[in-house]
Amino acid sequence: MYKIIIIGAGFAGLSAAKRLSRCGLNLDITFFDKKEDVDFLPLIPDVIGRGLDADLLTCRIQDLLGKKIRFFKEEVLSIDFEAKQVFTAGSSYIYDFLLITSGSQTNFFANPEAQSYAYALNSVKDVKALISALQKNRFENFVICGGGYTGIEAATNLCLFCRKNGIAAKIVIVERSPGILGPLPGWMKSYVGDNLKKLGIEVLLNSVVENIQSSRVLVSGGRVLEKAMLIWVPGVKTADFIQQLPVDKNPQGRIVVDEYLRFRQGCFCAGDAALFTAQGNPIRMAVQFSIAEGAQAADNIIRSIKRLPLNKFQPRDLGFIIPMANNRSCGAVFGLNLKGFLPTLLHFMMCIYRSYGLRNKIGLTGNLAKALICIGSLRRRRGKC
């Protein structure tokens, strides 16, 4: 019986597991994740502003895998490709086929102060820690390090949180490059920029967080923000064990895969951990690609076992949305440029559809409907969010 090991139960790993468990072959599938639960990341920022119940964003991994797949809650620490062995703290496991789907994690860029004092936003545990700090402290400043998608979402959600709770705090986004949102189209950047300005959120470009002392944050140019909560979202990197692997990687540690999502004989990688290049550009770290890559990698494992030629991965980009908590979102979906409430609604519909488990889907539908009504009434009372 062929032994298959999957590392990481996110969108890619779970999509692969589904495909493998339904393929009709008698396989010995072992699944590892360092956590007991899978987190639904796209709604993490909405826990802050819209008050979503964070528990609706998690689901027990074992419940999603069914009985055919063996699940171990263990962190993978290393891999020996020659011996075809995966190592965890307690044991080692042999494979015939390997699929790495360990996603990405917050990159603290080896900054010990950031690691001690800043709040990350990459898991349900992270957002619960952030909410707990908001409940215990009266912050006067919120500093968001990183002006990408997550930074923008976090800033607008903090704005909504402050409005709802009558807190007069300053919200500042600190971005190292000359513009927010990296390579996104100009119209989106200016739409988002205008929205941030309307919300009173300050954006400091060509700037970095230089020093962090507990709740005191020093930004380049000498600006000091006291009683500050620092939210750390300047970028991600892949899992620690990947950094040590003797394979081709980009600076974030994403493993370079070929057109079949393979990086060596019998070894595949999918989702955020994989660097797949389409038309000369690496594809984005996104839910849609992770799910599609996970399924395609699983398919290619099945085809390898059946000694059939592998299929090339052909990504279909359905588009993307930058959700903002005052419902003035924007995005490009099926080639159409969208602004305002419609992309917000589409984002939530995608999230409910993709979320894990019926209980969570029902709970999130209720939570999000309530949040949309609540923001409508806030707008009417205050003129704008």
Chain residues that interact with ligand FAD, rule: CB under 6 A: 7-13, 32-35, 38, 41-42, 44-45, 75-76, 101-104, 121-122, 150, 239, 241, 271-273, 285-288, 290
For residue 166, give both structure tokens. Answer: 């009558």
Q: Quick check: 232 and 119 in contact, CB under 8 A?
A: yes
- Residue 93 has a CB neighbour count (10 Å cut-off) of 17
Task: Considering the complex, state which of residue 71 and residue 117 has its C-beta at the smaller distance from ligand FAD.
Answer: 71
For residue 114, give both structure tokens. Answer: 């950031």
Nearest 5°: CA angle at 34, between 317 and 56?
A: 65
**Residue 34 CB, nearest approach to ligand FAD (Å):** 4
**Residue 138 CB, nearest approach to ligand FAD (Å):** 25
Q: Quick check: 231 and 144 in contact, CB under 8 A?
A: yes
Would you give the end-to-end CA distance of the chain in angstroms?
Answer: 59
**Residue 11 CB, nearest approach to ligand FAD (Å):** 4
**Residue 284 CB, nearest approach to ligand FAD (Å):** 8
**Residue 218 CB, nearest approach to ligand FAD (Å):** 26
Measure the CA–CA gap between 353 and 349, rounded to whole angstroms: 6
**Residue 106 CB, nearest approach to ligand FAD (Å):** 8
**Residue 183 CB, nearest approach to ligand FAD (Å):** 16
Measure the CA–CA gap between 138 and 184, rounded to whole angstroms: 35
**Residue 289 CB, nearest approach to ligand FAD (Å):** 7
Question: Given the DSSP bridges, would you call strands 209-213 and 202-204 parallel, antiparallel or unpaired?
Answer: unpaired
User: What is the 8-class DSSP label of residue 355?
Assistant: S
Separation in Å, CA 287 to CA 4, 79, 241: 23, 26, 22
Q: Quickly tell me which residue has 């390898």 as its tokens.
A: 304
Best CA proximity match to 267, nearest among 106, 119, 97 = 97
For residue 130, give both structure tokens. Answer: 């952030």
Best CA proximity match to 169, nearest among 208, 227, 122 = 227
> Side chain identity at 87, as an amino acid letter?
F
Helices marked H in 199-286: 240-243
User: What is the 8-class DSSP label of residue 55?
Assistant: G
> Side chain identity at 35, as an amino acid letter?
K
